Amino acid sequence: MENGKPAPGSETRDTTSSRRHALALMLGAGPWLPRALTGADTGAPVRLAISKSLVSDVSINDARAAMLVWIKKMMTDLNVVVDINPRVFDTTEEIVRRARSGQLDSVALNIVEYRQIAEVLDPSEVLAGAGASGMEQYVLLAKRNGELQHLGHLRGRRLCTLNAPKMCAASAWLSTILDEGHLGKSDRFFGSVITDTKVSRVVLQVFFGQADACLTSKRGFDTMCELNPQVAEDLTVIATSPAMVVTFYVFHKNYRSANRQRFIRVLSDLRGNAAGRQLATLFQFDDLTVRDSSCLASALRLLDKAERAPGPGLGSRQG
């Protein structure tokens, strides 16, 4: 103290301490967590944002609880303090606003959201699924021995689509192949469009003749074929999308804290502990690895191409 004023830096320390205390309370921590945070040489907390678009056919409460458990373990095991809002998941609008105003350090989002704010994100390190398991493909299916064997045959027909986080670029892909075939706008091409959150129900709609075609994930369809060879015998693939990375973690371009590498290590070793494995199961990804933005090229090309195609996507018409 000098002349009754706080010593230089004390205000910053007080602010950091208060922020960590609030964070501990937000996470519902026991008495051990505030002590761990006080003793940790962590620097500023990592301001993490997670898009709500990554949560689909799971309980939002289960997903929120799993994320908070993982954050607690990360803070205690590796001394990485994570600052996240009490709701845990942010809407796309919140993600865009926070990214553009510099209010986040790392964000988990999908490729459509990334494209909106790519100019403020760092393309040098993208944390995405490793190898083929980190890629997503879409397939358009119909009955093998029916009259619907080509894309053009589906005009006016009933389509069932999978509604899932990794299907975020599916409507864009469908718009591009319709445009390439000179088949018109996707919202006017099909007679009706319904959605479901389960791959099995989407595929079986076609299998049992309740829909004429379906748009689903190749991974999910392959799994169904393994479990039920009759599905593979009765259904055929009309079109297959390119393999793409569509969900991932990325950093803000201005984030250069030492905690960045700690955070990367945590994400790269999710399956090394029970909390991380639960998180990976809920969000349906395997191992995460550091890649650069070239891994996003095929998905971004698809979105650019879809933007040039006429008419809105499937989201504009549900039946």
Same domain, 233 and 209: yes
Return the number of other C-beta atoms located less than 10 Å from residue 206's C-beta: 25
251: domain range? 10-132+245-286
pLDDT digits (tens, 9 = 90+) for 23-32: 333 334 333 3
The mean-pLDDT minimum among 38-47, 102-111, 184-193, 208-217 falls in 38-47
Same domain, 273 and 311: no
Same domain, 89 and 192: no
Look at residue 136 and tell me whether its pLDDT is greater than 50.
yes
Residues 207, 144: contact at Cβ < 8 Å?
no
pLDDT of residue 11: 35
172 is a domain residue: yes
The mean-pLDDT minimum among 133-142, 221-230, 274-283 falls in 274-283
Same domain, 56 and 128: yes
pLDDT of residue 286: 64
Q: Region 98-122: what's the mean pLDDT?
A: 96
Look at residue 142 and tell me whether its pLDDT is greater than 60.
yes
How many Å apart are CA 219 and CA 222, to the nearest integer? 5
298 is a domain residue: no
Same domain, 22 and 114: yes
Q: Region 67-77: what's the mean pLDDT?
A: 80
Same domain, 188 and 222: yes
Look at residue 312 and tell me whether its pLDDT is greater than 90.
no
- What are the C-alpha distances in Å from 310 to residues 152, 172, 241, 302, 307? 17, 11, 19, 14, 8
116 is a domain residue: yes
209 is a domain residue: yes
* Three-class SS state of 214: strand
CATH code of the domain covering residue 282: 3.40.190.10
pLDDT confidence band for 60 (50 / 70 / 90): confident
Same domain, 121 and 167: no
Look at residue 224 and tell me whether its pLDDT is greater than 60.
yes
pLDDT of residue 8: 37
pLDDT confidence band for 294 (50 / 70 / 90): very high
Domains held by the chain: number = 2
Same domain, 118 and 142: no
pLDDT of residue 35: 38
pLDDT of residue 310: 67
What HEC string does 120-188 produce? HEEEEEEEEECHHHHCECEEEEEECCCCCCCHHHHCCCEEEEECCHHHCCHHHHHHHHHHHCCCCCHHH
Same domain, 238 and 261: no
pLDDT confidence band for 215 (50 / 70 / 90): very high
Between 70 and 226, name the one with better pLDDT. 226
How many Å apart are CA 257 and CA 259, to the nearest integer? 5
pLDDT of residue 124: 92
